Amino acid sequence: MMELLQEPDFWEGLGLAIVIGLILWQRVPAMLGKMLDARAVAIQNELTQAKQLREEAEAVLVRYTERASHAQAEAQTILTQAKQEAERFAKESEAQLKALIERRARQAQDRIARAEAQAMAEIRSMAADAAASAAATIISKRLDENQAGALIDNSIKDLGAKLN
């Protein structure tokens, strides 16, 4: 047995047995188990929290996707309405422009007609004045006083018949 005490393997084995015994006596495996269990619970909580965050993120993504699609649809509706409004405005403007052009054309034609009528009246007036002046000149040259008096007397007699 003395030889056994001199063997390094024996002492190594005995030291290992003592260390293992101390570890078991101090309940290190239970403590390690508790620590591992606590770590497992912490990891499980983190996983649960991560799962909840992921679900919330997915819900937020769905909401924002819906909002984006609603916004896109609303933008499309607004664009369509704006195009329709622009087309209606263009048609109304075209109709108003046509009416304005027609009204101005009628006004221009009316002005031209009035100017023509005024010009014709002035021409007639000038012609009548010229004819009266020419007639007065001719009558005064060809008519002597006796003939003029007889002509005035006959005109005065006929005036009563012409007025009634």
Q: What is the pLDDT along the chain (164 residues), one digit of tens a residue?
A: 677 777 888 878 889 888 888 777 777 778 888 899 999 999 999 999 999 999 999 999 999 999 999 999 999 999 999 999 999 999 999 999 999 999 999 999 999 999 999 999 999 888 888 888 888 787 777 777 777 777 778 888 777 776 65
Residue 152: inside a domain:
no
Contact indicator for 29, 23 with CB cutoff of 8 Å: yes
Token couple for 159: 């005036």
> Is residue 127 in a domain?
yes
Q: Are 51 and 58 in contact (CB under 8 A)?
A: no
4, 10 contact by CB (below 8 A): yes
Distance between terminal CA atoms of the chain?
183
Q: Is residue 14 part of a domain?
A: no
Residue 20 lies in a domain: no
Domain that holds residue 87: 61-138
CA 66, 71, 76 angle in degrees (round to 5)?
Answer: 125
Domain count, the chain: 1
Distance CA 54, CA 68 (A): 20
Residue 45 falls inside a structural domain? no
Residue 101, in any domain of the structure: yes
Q: Which two tokens stand for residue 81?
A: 């309405």
Residue 16 belongs to a domain: no
For 91, the 3-state DSSP assignment is: helix
Q: What pLDDT, on the 0 to 100 scale, is given for residue 89?
A: 93
